[in-house]
Structure 1
Amino acid sequence: MKAEEETISEEEQKKLIMQQDIAIIKRMNDINHKIAVMSGKGGVGKSTIAVNLAVAFALKGYHTGLMDVDLHGPDVPHMLGVENAILQQSPLGILPLNVMENLDILSIEFMLPSKGSPIIWRGPKKTGAIRQFLSDVSWGKLDMLIVDNPPGTGDEPLTVLQSISPLDGVVMVTTPQEVAGEDVRKCVNMVKGLKIPVLGIIENMSGFTCPHCKKEINIFGKGEGKELSEELEIPYLGSLPLETQVREKSDQGKPFILSDQESEISKKFMEIVSKIENTISNKRGD
C-alpha cells in the first residue's frame, strides 16, 4: 500500500466508498439483467457453465457481458481463446474485451504480468478489486451480465451478491457427487439469507456414455441435483452429461455451445438457458 493511502482519514475513506457505491449503481442501472453463477466447491464445471451461458445468450441476440471474478483461478479468457488479450482504457473507464458479436468479457487475467502470475491477496484487497470492476468498467448498455464467482461462500461471492442490486438471481452448479451437494447446500442457504432468488440448480457431469459400448456410466453418481432442488425448494434446471468434447473444446478456447450446436449436450444446455430466460423475463415483466 502506498504511503499516501495510509494517511487517508476514516471520513475520507467513507466518502470514497460512497462515491464508489454511486458509480456501481450507475453502471448496473445500464444493465437489464444480472445473473451470478455459483458452486459450493471447485471442479464442478462452474466456469464452463458461466462461459457457455454467456455465449448462449449472445447467440440469442442479447448484448451480454461476462465478468470473471474467480480471482485465484480466472479461466474465462482461456475458455474463450483470448488469454493474451490486453484491455483498453477510455474516458468512460476500462473497456471490456469484445470476443464475438454481442459478447464482451472482463477478467483479472488480462491485468496480470504473465500467465502464471498468482493472485496473493487477502480479503479486503479482493473485495476492493471486485468493487473496482463494478465501478470502473464501462460495459455500456447491456441486456445481460453473467458473473462467474469463485466456489464457496467467501469474500468474493459475498461482495458480488451485496454490490449488484437488483440481482435477478443465482444459478447453482453441482455434480451428482454427494460432497458437491453438501457444499452447494451452503451456497443456497447463503443466497436465501441475503434474500436473493435462486434461479435454479444444474447437475453437471451427470452420466457418461461409453463411446465403445454406448452404455451410460454414472461416474459421479446421479440425481443429487434433483434431490437438492426438492429439498431446498428451488427450481431444477436440468442435467448435463460428462463429455470429452466439453473438456477438449474448453482447452482449445472454443465453448461447446458454439462448436456443435446439434450435439446432445448443446441441446440440453439450450433448454436450460430457455428456462433461465423465461424465469427472469417473468420476474421483470419483459
Structure 2
Amino acid sequence: MTLADALDTIPDPLSGRGLVASGRIATPREKGGIADLILDVTGLDEAQRGALEQAARAVALGVPGIRDVRIMQTAEKTGRRIIAVASGKGGVGKSTVSANLAVALKRLGLNVGLVDADIYGPSQPRLMAAEGVKPEARDKQLIPVATRHGVPMLSMGQLVPGGQAIAWRGPMAAGALGQLVDADWAGMGVDTLVVDMPPGTGDVQLSMIQKHKPAGAVIVSTPQDLALIDATRAIDLFVKAGVPVIGLIENMAGYACPHCGEISDPFGSGGAEAQAKALGLPFLGRIPLAIAIRTASDAGDPPAAGDGPEATAFTDLATRVAAWLNPSLSPRF
C-alpha cells in the first residue's frame, strides 16, 4: 500500500471520504524515509484538527520505509465551505439550480450564502429578487445583500448597470471573483457558500480552485449527449485539481403536459444518471422541465422556497448535498 492509499483510509470528519479523495491532504511526498504532509483543516475545530493530525501521523508511520512524518496544517482564511455548482456548457440551468439549492439548504437549517461567479452573465439578482440592490462596503470589504429568502448573496449584476457588457480579461474577472468570495460573509452568519460558476473551464474556474478551493463540486447537465460531453470536461477539471465531485444532476428531465399530464423527454432521459454511473460518481437526482420553475424564477421566487413537486425535487437535491457535507447529520435529513 502506498502512502497516499494509506492516508486515504482515514475518513474526513466532514465529508466522510478519505483524506486524499476529499482534498484534506494534497499528494503526500516522501524522501529518504521522511513523509511531508500538508493537512487542510478548514472547517474543523481544535479537537478535530488534533485528532486528524495524530491519525495521519500514525498511519504514515505504518507504511514500510517511513521513519519520520512532518505535518503542516493549513486552513482557508475564510473558514467557510464552498460548494461550486458548475457545468461544461451554458444553457443547462446551472444558475437556477444554484439559487434553488441555496434556498433549499437554508430551509434544511444550513447557514448559506450565494455567490454569482458567472462574471460575464450574472443572473442571480433576477432569480433572487435582488435586482437594483447594490451592496455596501466596509473597510474595502463588500457586505452581502440580504434577500427575502433568507440567503444573502453577491453578484456582479449588483455592481454594474443592468444591460451593460462586462468585457474584462481574465485577471480582472478573477479579481472580481475574489471580492465576492472574500466579502463579509461571517457578519451575515454564513458558513457555507453556494457558488454559481460560469460555464466552461476557463480563468474564473481556475482562480476559484487555486485561491478559494471548494469543499466539493456539483455538476449540472441536461440528458442530451452534447451537454454530457461538456459536463465530463468540467468533472475532469475538478478531479485533477483535487476537488471532490459531490455528484451529477440531470436538469430539464421530463416535461409534463399541463393539459393531459403525459410525460415527454425533449432532451432525452437518463443520460446524466448513466454518465454518473460510468464515472463512478453519485447521481443527485432529476429536476423536471416545468413551466412553473421558469415562471417562478423569472419572478424572483425560487420554487424551492414553496411547495409542490418542483420544491420537492430541489429539497431532495439539497438533502443529498447536506448529507455529503455533514455525514453525521444524514439521518436527520
TM-score, normalised relative to structure 2: 0.73
Looking at structure 1, the residues matched to 226 and 328 of structure 2 have their Cα atoms a distance apart, in angstroms, of 32
* 2:179 aligned with 1:132: yes
* 2:275 aligned with 1:275: no
Deviations 1:55-108, CA, capped at 9 Å, x for gaps: 111222222110111011100000111111011122472101011364110001
CA contact 1:62–1:102 (8 Å) conserved in 2: no
- 2:313 is matched by which residue type in structure 1? K
Looking at structure 2, the residues matched to 159 and 240 of structure 1 have their Cα atoms a distance apart, in angstroms, of 29
Residue aligning to 1:226: 273
Deviations 1:118-170, CA, capped at 9 Å, x for gaps: 100111211122123333x11114231100000110111121122123x2200
* 2:198 aligned with 1:153: no
Structure 1 counterpart of 2:125, from 77, 83, 98: 77
Residue aligning to 2:10: none
- Structure 1's 238 and 151: CA in aligned 2 closer, same or farther, altered over 3 A? same
Deviations 1:26-72, CA, capped at 9 Å, x for gaps: 2x21x2x2200001111111000000111111222222110111011
Residue aligning to 2:99: 51
Deviations 1:178-207, CA, capped at 9 Å, x for gaps: 100000000001110011100001000001
Residue aligning to 2:146: 98
CA contact 2:323–2:329 (8 Å) conserved in 1: no
Largest Rg, 1 or 2? 2
Deviations 1:244-279, CA, capped at 9 Å, x for gaps: 011101111110112x31x11211221111111111
Looking at structure 1, the residues matched to 91 and 119 of structure 2 have their Cα atoms a distance apart, in angstroms, of 15
* 2:311 aligned with 1:266: yes
CA contact 2:124–2:155 (8 Å) conserved in 1: yes
SS of 2:154's partner is strand
Residue aligning to 2:256: 209
CA contact 1:77–1:107 (8 Å) conserved in 2: yes
Unaligned runs of 5+ in 2: 1-74
SS of 2:219's partner is strand
SS of 1:237's partner is strand
Looking at structure 1, the residues matched to 313 and 222 of structure 2 have their Cα atoms a distance apart, in angstroms, of 16
* 2:304 aligned with 1:257: yes
SS of 2:181's partner is helix
Q: Percent identity?
A: 35
Looking at structure 1, the residues matched to 301 and 180 of structure 2 have their Cα atoms a distance apart, in angstroms, of 25
**How many positions carry a matched residue from both structures?**
255
Unaligned runs of 5+ in 1: 1-23
Looking at structure 1, the residues matched to 228 and 114 of structure 2 have their Cα atoms a distance apart, in angstroms, of 26
Query: Higher helix proportion, which one?
Result: 1
Looking at structure 1, the residues matched to 251 and 292 of structure 2 have their Cα atoms a distance apart, in angstroms, of 14
CA contact 1:61–1:102 (8 Å) conserved in 2: no
Residue aligning to 1:185: 232
SS of 1:103's partner is coil
Residue aligning to 1:61: 109
CA contact 1:176–1:223 (8 Å) conserved in 2: yes
TM-score, normalised relative to structure 1: 0.85
CA contact 1:92–1:138 (8 Å) conserved in 2: no
Looking at structure 2, the residues matched to 283 and 127 of structure 1 have their Cα atoms a distance apart, in angstroms, of 35
